[in-house]
Homo-oligomer: A and B are copies of this chain.
Amino acid sequence: MEMKEIKLEDLDTKNFVKEKVSEISAAVGDALAINALSGGVDSSAVTMLGHKALGNRLRTYFIENGLMREGEPKRIVRLFGELGVPVEVVDAQKEFFGALKGITDPEEKREAITRVFYKDVFSQLVRKSGAKYLLQGTNYTDVEETVAGIKRQHNILKQLGIDTEEQYGYKVIEPLIQLRKSAIREVAKALGLPEEIYQRPPFPGPALAARVIGEVTPDRVEIVRRATRIVEQELSRTGAFQYLAILHEDRVTGIRDGKRDYGLQIEVRCWESKDAKVGWPTRLAYDVLEKLSDRITGEIEGVVSVTYSITKKPPSTIEAI
């Protein structure tokens, strides 16, 4: 497929959808295809394109890794169900938390999640399903950052442990590879996805594990999950590009019931960006910042401190891990 960027101002969404649907249709023919849906805008758009092209010859899986936001995957299954797209949930929480146990190094953590996702869980599904085609939501920024060495290598077949594409006939289809995030949102809208999906802030693959500095345990994920819910409730109306809560490993002094205590710190980030390539912290009103802090320290036991990230990207990145 074509690899040149299609800029937002040059994008004809109707035409783009029509083209991609017929490309997928032509590529897969009568075979089966498979994709993993996370509920983010990229994988949601891919799911819709694949469904339009292939109908029930597309198998869409939602992999429950225990690292998702509150209420997922139920919400996603219901939402796609209403659009006529069946989604199968695969419970892999045990596999993910097992692989993450004792790991504190951010890169090892990321590798463990990638390995479990691709090698342990998704590759099983691919083999069992008999699918020969994988639909994948890779976008133009991913490619660029892989080339620049900012993100990790993005070779899905290698990550699936499939080195012999020719022998087994696996093919990867990446229909969004020419688009950046803002263009993908337009495509998602044109595909009939609801605003809560096409306007959804990015939520990268390692999900809440990317929001936990230090060891990722069910308890620590639960803390950052609750902080994430508060941040999303308070910041969704800002229209910011992305907003997130990060649980630090560092402990800081606080006061609990009048006594000195070492507690947890949550870092909040809220970004202005068009494409995640560069970004600026949103100039949130102090009323909003103070409400965030009051809610997070008041509603989540053990948290005594909340900070707001004030560094632009670069030298920061959007996420902390």
Contacts and interface: CB of A to CB of B under 8 A. Distances in A.
B317 A293 contact: no
B248 A250 contact: yes
Interface residues of A, number: 49
Contacts of A304: 311, 315-317
A106 to B, nearest CB: 7
A94 B321 CA distance: 36
Contact of A308 (B213, B307, B314, B320): B307
A320 B255 contact: no
B311 A308 contact: no
A210 to B, nearest CB: 9
A309 B310 contact: no
Contacts of A293: 310-312
A256 interface: yes
A104 to B, nearest CB: 10
Interface stretch (A19-27, A183-191, A282-290): A282-290
Contacts of A289: 310
30 contacts: A148-B258, A149-B258, A150-B258, A151-B260, A213-B252, A214-B250, A248-B248, A249-B249, A249-B250, A250-B250, A252-B317, A253-B316, A253-B321, A254-B314, A254-B316, A255-B315, A256-B314, A260-B317, A286-B310, A290-B312, A292-B310, A293-B311, A293-B312, A304-B315, A304-B317, A305-B315, A305-B320, A307-B307, A307-B309, A308-B310
